[in-house]
Every structure is written in C-alpha cells, then in structure tokens.
Structure 1
Amino acid sequence: MTNLGEGVAIGTLPPTKYAEEPRQPGNLVLTLKETSSGEVIKDVKVSIAGASSGEATTNAAGQCRFDGIAAGFYALTLTQDEFEMSPDRARFAIHPDQTLKLNIKVRRVLTTVVMKRIHVRGTLKAATGDKSELEYGHWWVEVDGSQSFGWWPASGVSIGGTFSGVPGVLNEMKGAGGTATRDPHHGDPGDEEFSPSVLNGKSAADIKKSIGDFASGFSGKYGSTWRWPGKYNCHNFQEQMMKDVGLSKSNSKNLK
C-alpha cells in the first residue's frame, strides 16, 4: 500500500500567466513664457516629431497640449510669424502613462521692426566753432518697411538752439519731406541697424500698434521740445520708445 506522497514527486505548479494590461500612451503639456518678464506667449506654433508627430498653437495662457502620444524621444520646434526665438527647439522624452509638463522660457526678436541710427559726426570741430564737418545724424524706427518715426527740430537749428532747445516735431522738419507716419530718412541705411528683442509676451500686432501710439502721443506726454544732448532728441526719443513699448537692444538681432 502506498501512502499519499510516498514515492511520488510533487512539484510546484507553474505560475499562472496573467495578461499585462496594455500601457497607455503619454501626454505633453507645454507652457511658453518670455525670459525677462515671465509673461506667457500666445499664438506660437509648436511642432513635435518623434514616435508620434503633431502641431498645436499656444493659447492665451501660453499653453498647448498633445494627448495620446506614443512613448519615445521627441524633437520640439517653436515658430511665430514676424519673430525669431531663442531657443526655438528642445528635446524631451515621453514615458507610458506619463503627462509631461514642460516649461520653456524664450527670448524673441521682432524682425519686422528695425531701429536705425546714423551717428553724430564732427562735434569736436564744432566745439571750436568750425561746423564744416558737423552732421547731427539721426535715429529712427521703421515698422514693416512702410512706416517710420523719429523726433526732429521743427526747422533748422543753430548751435545755441541745439543746447537750449527748439520746437520739436514728429518726422517733419520743414523741407525734409516727412509725413505723420514716415520719417524723412525712411529707407536710408543707418550706421547701425538692429531688430529689437521683446521684453513681454505681446503679439507683433500689439507691439507695432504701441509704437504708433507712442509716436503720435509723444509730444502730449513728453513735451514738444527738441534739444541735444538733453531731452528730447531723436536719440532718447528712440530709447524712450523702446522702454515704453517693452523692447531692448540687448539680445537684439544686429543687421549692420
């Protein structure tokens, strides 16, 4: 008689194989902000390429989403009409079941706005009374290649009037050929030219409107005197414009 288990090998049963639940794809939430101010930036086209691909545009909160994208490595590209951005690309990885929150800060340059500067010449000789080589130069801004703004003396100016101040006017020195929206030097080359960087999250349209509003309202806010080197002349007109609108020469795009 054989007792239970006697002479019988009893092994461990193999584990039951349970089917793994399928892992879900991941998601990406991107927030885009301007580096200096931290303001969000809307209307930026965001493209991703990798295991999945797609495009989205940042909303009023500076955000966009990519849902249900496959796990893997990705390249991201940022583009916005009229702007150059730095950085304009990034790399990231998506893991299954993950929602990646990616925050990117960028600097932007507004390429449809150009600050132009023709510098003063001959001041040393002029100080001795020899004005033969004196050139006042001029600073102005061009917008979309169709509008431009600068601050001028209303008519010819003497050395004394240069320092004490004379009536000033937007764009129009008598006989120079300017209009309310076109500086007499419009289209001329400058000694220095650059497209400014932007210190806020505004759109190109908003920035260009602010430039026009600044120019048309300048005399009402800052007075109608032109003097050099005191305020205001074409130099600090341009500098005040950049300050009020939120533009900067720092991190700008040098064109000349």
Structure 2
Amino acid sequence: MSVLEAKQITKIYGDAKSESSTKALNGIDFRVDEGEFVAIMGPSGSGKSTLVSILSGITEPTTGSIDIGGKRIDQMDRFEMALFRRRSLGFVFQEFNLLDSLTIKENIILPMVLDKKETTKMNAKAAEVMKLFDIENIADKYPYEISGGQQQRAAVCRSLVNDPVMVFADEPTGNLDSKSANAVMNCFKKMNEEKNTTILMVTHDVFAASFCKKVIFIKDGRIYLEVASKGTRKEFFNRILDCQAALGGENNDF
C-alpha cells in the first residue's frame, strides 16, 4: 500500500520564463510503500534535498501533486500543513534540534505536549521508545550532558512519539563519528523492522544508505536509477558505491 505518492514534481527557482531561472526538479514521479526504508542519494546539486523538502511539506513544489496517507499536502494551507507535519510525520535532522533547556525525556515528548496529550499517555510512550533504543538511563539528562550519538537517538525517539505515517531523515549521520553513526542507523533499522515504520532518508553516506531496503539516485533533477537491497549489507554497500561513483559521488569506507 502506498504511503507517499508524488506525481510530476517540478521546482523552479526564479522566474520560470527567465533564462536565469534554475530548475531543481524536473517532472519527478515518486512512490514510497508502507514499511519501506528508502534512501535518496545523488551528487551535490542533484536536487535530492529539494525533493525531500517538498515531499515533507517544508517547501512548496512549482507544479505537481503529493499524497501522504491519503491526504493531498500540496493543497493544504500553511496552518493545515503545520498541524499535519506535527501530528502525522516524524523528522530527524542532521543537527539533532534538541532544546538544551529540556531534559531528554522532555524533548522526546514535546510533540505530544504541543498536542496537549494526557500525561500518562506521554509518559508511557516516552518509556516505550526510550526502551526500544536503549536510552532510558539518560532520560533526565540534558542534551549538553550526552554524546552526539545519544542526542540523535533521542531525536529518533521524538520522531516516533506521535506514531507518524512516515519518518523523514535529513543526513541523520552527518554530524556523527562512525561508531555513533552505526548505532543510529541500527535504530532506524530497528524501527523499520520492529515497528514497520516507513522511512525516507536523504544522505550522501554510502554506509548509512546500506541499511536501507532501496536507494533512489537523483541526477539533474530527475530520478536516474534505483537499486534494491539483495544479499548481505556489505554487498549492497558495494552496489551503492558503484552507482555513486558513476554519478561522481564521494567514497566511504565500510
């Protein structure tokens, strides 16, 4: 069953009739099914970040339609979109986006606080997701008291508290060392496999992408190719690396 379906997405910066305009996306059709874990990759300037920004409702497309969970987000006004993003989507960013004035638990339940959920429900949900990712022992600590990897795991927990239709991740390992990146990507894999969470991740990191079930490559604002996971994760890593090299991407060590 389709969770996200986008049709003929274009994004033009500047006056479309002007020669100085830039077409970041050029008629992209895109679909993510329930329970998929998909990575979007491509060279710098390929349009991958723009695509995810549009699919998640942060940026408006120039043309095209976007359906998430049976709702046309491209037809929502700003207020409707803000509510939909908070209640139906989960987000994990490169910068963690945790508030230093709140404890880890308080950061995790913040989306539920904004929706004025019952305290017992918030506490139960926080306990559930913190146990899933093994961070119960830092619940009362503040972000500046823990490691970057722990902060990102807290951010992953926060993305799940409202049981989102899907989770968007933007370079989630970009600020992490290899050990922390491995721990965070295992969290994503766990939430996908154990909770059947649908995840769409944009990344330049082949190692991170190798945890996914499918990788979509973007080039010059169009979908260039896609590869599905087969065999071991190391074999998938090597296939992704070959594709990225053909597109002029960066190398990563497994």
Which structure has more RCO (C-alpha within 8 Å, separation ≥ 6)? Answer: 2
Structure with max Cα Rg: 1
More strand by share: 1
TM range (shorter): under 0.3
Return the TM-score normalized by structure 1.
Answer: 0.21
What is the TM-score normalised by the length of structure 2?
0.21
